[in-house]
Amino acid sequence: MIIVTGGAGFIGSNLIHTLNAQGHSDILLVDDLTNGHKMHNIADLTIADYMDKRDFLASLANANFLPHVSAVFHQGACSATTEWNGQYVMENNYAYSKQVFHWCQQRKTPFIYASSASVYGMGKQGFCVDRACEKPINMYAYSKFQFDQYVRQHLPQSSSQIVGLRYFNVYGPREQHKGSMSSTAYHFNTQLQQSGQVKLFAGCDGYVDGQQERDFVYVNDVVAINLWFLEHPHCSGIFNVGTGQAQTFNAMAQAVIDWHGRGEITYIPFPEQLRGAYQSYTQADLSTLRAVGCHHEFLDVKAGVKDYLDRLNHHA
């Protein structure tokens, strides 16, 4: 059996979708369906069982719980970067992750988990997997950073594979339930359909309008990296998952406009509350990923957005 926590979420549901396509159906999906709209992400998936995240955590104390687990993909977390209840975030993202981690270590089960590029904060020291580059600026980022730190302490004595994947700006199918936290590709598509316009922030931090840059990575590529590590159980560590090539918000907006064959870009004032707390540039350093032999080729924005909108607007 394979366990996927956060399996009804954005990346988790895409991961299960691909596992199904590869012939895997003995899957335990763990999530919190308080937001029942997430069921649309999993209605077409084949799984062996579903468990609420609280029941799953309680079951880990049972020595006889699921004796034959081949891997755990730990994708579940509070992913809202605007959540400032630190106790809640640390309970869900840090303490919960530690318990799943130790359960896997006790059973010598591969543990592949979602970290985040948000650990790099404003990115002033770069985006290498290195402590010198890490300075989180919100609670979500701190919880991910602190769990990475915890993992680093245990890696030298690990009994089985441990992989932390620092996702950059992921976009793609099955993200609609995230609301304001959905990707710019999703929001730009909606804006264009509703008004014929795509709205971008005006320039800031020395960048002209719409020229802020992010490492936008398609969710199918993120899934591919997760599964690459499943197939290479001797590889452990913490790795960036991005294209390695920053692209502008203008490029993302233009890719959406090109797909529709209509629309225009408009710029709105940069929000005052985000000044000094906004990543104007991110770009994954892929050196550690390449060093372990993973040479996956990532889609650029133009190709990724085309595939995404083909799916998104077809289903709509």
CA distance 240 to 153: 19
pTM for the structure as a whole: 0.95
Q: Where in the chain is the domain with CATH 3.40.50.720?
A: 2-170+217-243+283-298
Does CATH place domain 176-213+246-280+305-315 in 1.10.10.10?
A: no
Report the alpha-carbon angle 120-123-129, nearest 5.
Answer: 45
Give tens-digit pLDDT for 167-226: 999 999 999 998 888 999 999 999 999 999 999 999 887 899 999 999 999 999 999 999
* pLDDT for residue 316: 52
CA distance 97 to 296: 27
Active-site residue (options: 94, 96, 120, 140): 140
What is the full DSSP assignment across 28-57? Answer: EEEE-TTSGGGHHHHTT---SEEEEHHHHH
Query: Hey, what are 232's tokens?
Result: 């290479």
High-pLDDT (> 70) share of the chain, %: 99
Query: Hey, what are 98's tokens?
Result: 């530690």
Give tens-digit pLDDT for 16-58: 999 999 999 999 999 999 999 999 999 999 999 999 999 999 9
Q: Where in the chain is the domain with CATH 3.90.25.10?
A: 176-213+246-280+305-315
Residues with Cβ < 8 Å from 25, sequence gap 6 or more? 46, 47, 48
CA distance 8 to 3: 12
Cβ atoms < 10 Å from Cβ of 83 = 16
Contact 215, 244 (CB under 8 A): yes
Q: 73 vs 42, 162, 274, 309, 313, CA distance in Å?
A: 16, 10, 33, 27, 29
Contact 144, 118 (CB under 8 A): yes
* pLDDT for residue 279: 82
Task: Tell me whether residue 178 is one of the annotated catalytic residues.
Answer: yes
Contact 30, 7 (CB under 8 A): yes
Residue 274, phi then psi, degrees to nearest 5: -95, -10
CA distance 198 to 259: 13
Contact 87, 48 (CB under 8 A): no
- What CATH fold (topology level) applies to the domain 2-170+217-243+283-298? Rossmann fold (3.40.50)
Query: Hey, what are 312's tokens?
Result: 């998104």
Active-site residue (options: 98, 135, 178, 199): 178
- 148 CB-contact burial (10 Å; exposed 0-12 / middle 13-18 / buried 19+): buried
Q: Are strands 216-218 and 169-171 parallel, antiparallel or unpaired?
A: parallel
The confidence band for 117, taking pLDDT boundaries of 50, 70 and 90, is: very high
Residue 239: strand pairing partners: 165
* pLDDT for residue 275: 75
